[in-house]
Structure 1
C-alpha cells in the first residue's frame, strides 16, 4: 500500500531506464536549493518474479535502479534532498495514487507507445490525461540540440485554466534561464473566414489577452524574456513548426483537445523533431 507523501514532495517514477534517469535529472531543477524533497519511487509489479531467487533478483534490480538515479542526481552537483522508496503495485495505479499528494509528478518517456513511434507510451498518456497533479513527461533521443537557449512554450486559451499554465510556465522559464513564448492558437468559424475585418478583430482581441497576461506576470519574473504569439490553426501545427526551438511545452489539463493531440499519432511530426518535455498544469 502506497503511503501518503509529504505535500510538497516532487515525485519521480523510476524503472531502471535511461528515460527515468532523464526524468530524475530534469526534476532536480524543480527542487534544487529548496527544502522540497525529490522522492524517487520504484514500483515492483506483483508476481513479476518466481521463487525466492527471483524475488531477490527483482529486489536487487529495484535497489540498483533507485541508487543509479540517486548517483546521477549527486553527480549533477546541485543541493537536493532525495528520498527513495520501493513499493509493490502496478505502475499506473501507483503513480495515480502518488499524484493525489504531490504538486508535480515526473516520468520519463521512451516514445514506445504502440500507436505512435515518436509519441508517448500508455502510462505517460494516462497520467497526462487523468493524474490529480501537474505531470511532466520528460523525453529524449530525438534531438542533439543543446537545451540552453531553447524556449518554454505556454499555450493559453483565454480561460481560468490559463493562470495555472502561466504560473508554471513563468516558474520554469525563470528556473531554467529560458525565454518564454506565451501563445494561443485559434480557428475561426467558417463564415468568418471570408471576412478579413472579423478575422483582424479576433486576432486583435486575442493579442490583447496575451499582452495583458505578459503585463501581469512579467513584474514577478523580470529576468524572463517574454514573447507573445497569436497563431492561426491547431496548436499542434505551431508546435511542429517550432519544435526544434522548444525545450518545454506547458498546457492546461482542461485543454482536452491539445492534450489528446499531443498523446496521439498526430503528434509524431512535432515530437519526432525535438525532445521537448511536456508539462500538463493542474
Structure 2
C-alpha cells in the first residue's frame, strides 16, 4: 500500500464505470496544474468478498485490475505529463477510500458509479465521502473537453461560516478555466447578509479583475436554477454545510436537475476540517 499520509495527490475513485473514467480524465488538469500525482484507488467491497473463497477473491482482483487498466489507457491517451499511482484495496468503499486519501488535496468521483447506478442509490458514495472528507470532493458528471469554454462556474453561497472559503475556491477554479462566475444566493436573503456579500464581491472583483463576476438570485431554488441553466454551466461549487446538505445535490434530485449536462459539482470542506 502507498503511504497515504505524506504525499500530496489527487485521488480518483475507480470502480469500472464510465463515470469513473470521466472523473479520472477531469482530474488530469487538476493534477498537472498542481504538479502532484493522480492516484487511482479501486476498493474491492469487503461485503462482497465471499468469505475466504480464493476463486472469488481472484475474480474480484482480476476485475479490479481490468478497471484500473482501462482507466490508465484513457489517461495515457491524453498525453498529459501527469504521474499516475495505483492502489487496489479491500474494505468498505467509503471508509477505505477516505483512508487512502488522507494526503489528498482533492477527491474525484464519478456521478454514477457502476454499482449504485444499477441499484437506485445514485450519489450515495459521493454523498458519504463528501460528508466526511478532509478535502474538497469533485463529483464529475462527464468529461467533454471540447465543449465551449465560456460556460460559467456557479458558486453557491449562504450566510454560514463556510461561504468565504467556498467563494475563494470557486473563483480560483473559474480563473483556472477562464470562465465567467455566477455567485448564487438564496431567493430571499436577509438584507444584512446581502449587503455583506455585495461588499465581499466588490473585494473579490478587485482581486480578480480578469474575471466576469456577477451575482444572481435563485428565486425558485437551486435545483430549478440548475435545470434552467445547466447546459451553460461547467461547475457548481458549494459547501459541505449547505442548507439541505450535499446528499440531494449529488443524488437523484441533483441528477435530475443536471440531466444531459456535464456540470460537475465541487463540494468544499468546512474550514479546519480534519
Q: Which TM class, normalised by the smaller chain length?
A: 0.7 to 0.9
Matched, 1:217 2:204: yes
Where in structure 2 are the equivalents of 1:146-225 lying within 5 Å?
A: 146=147, 148-187=149-188, 208-225=195-212
CA distance in 2, matches of 1:262, 1:138: 12
Match of 2:272 in 1: none
CA distance in 1, matches of 2:243, 2:194: 22
Displacement over 6 Å in runs of 4+: none
The answer to whether the 8 Å contact 1:184/1:229 transfers is yes
Match of 1:38 in 2: 38
The answer to whether the 8 Å contact 2:235/2:263 transfers is yes
The answer to whether the 8 Å contact 1:187/1:233 transfers is no
Matched, 1:70 2:72: yes
Match of 2:83 in 1: 81
Shift of 1:278: 0.9
Larger Rg, first or second structure (1 or 2): 1
CA distance in 1, matches of 2:242, 2:259: 22
Calculate the TM-score normalised by the size of structure 1.
0.80
Where in structure 2 are the equivalents of 1:110-121 lying within 5 Å?
A: 110=112, 112=117, 120-121=122-123
Shift of 1:149: 2.2
The answer to whether the 8 Å contact 1:149/1:178 transfers is yes
Match of 1:192 in 2: none
1:165-223 per-position Cα deviation (integer Å, ceiling 9, x unaligned): 112211211222222111212336xxxxxxxxxxxxx56x5554444333323444443
CA distance in 1, matches of 2:255, 2:16: 26
- Counting matched residue pairs gives 264
Match of 1:199 in 2: none
SS at match of 1:32: helix
Shift of 1:13: 0.6
CA distance in 1, matches of 2:30, 2:132: 22
CA distance in 1, matches of 2:224, 2:86: 40
SS at match of 1:228: strand
Q: 1:122 aligns with which of 117, 124, 130?
A: 124
Q: 1:250 aligns with which of 216, 219, 237?
A: 237
CA distance in 2, matches of 1:25, 1:179: 22
Q: 1:97 aligns with which of 91, 96, 99?
A: 99
In structure 1, stretches of 5+ residues that fail to align are: 189-201
Matched, 1:136 2:134: no
Change in Cα spacing, 1:45 to 1:59, as seen in structure 2 (3 Å) is same
Change in Cα spacing, 1:218 to 1:144, as seen in structure 2 (3 Å) is closer
Shift of 1:269: 3.9
In structure 2, stretches of 5+ residues that fail to align are: 270-274
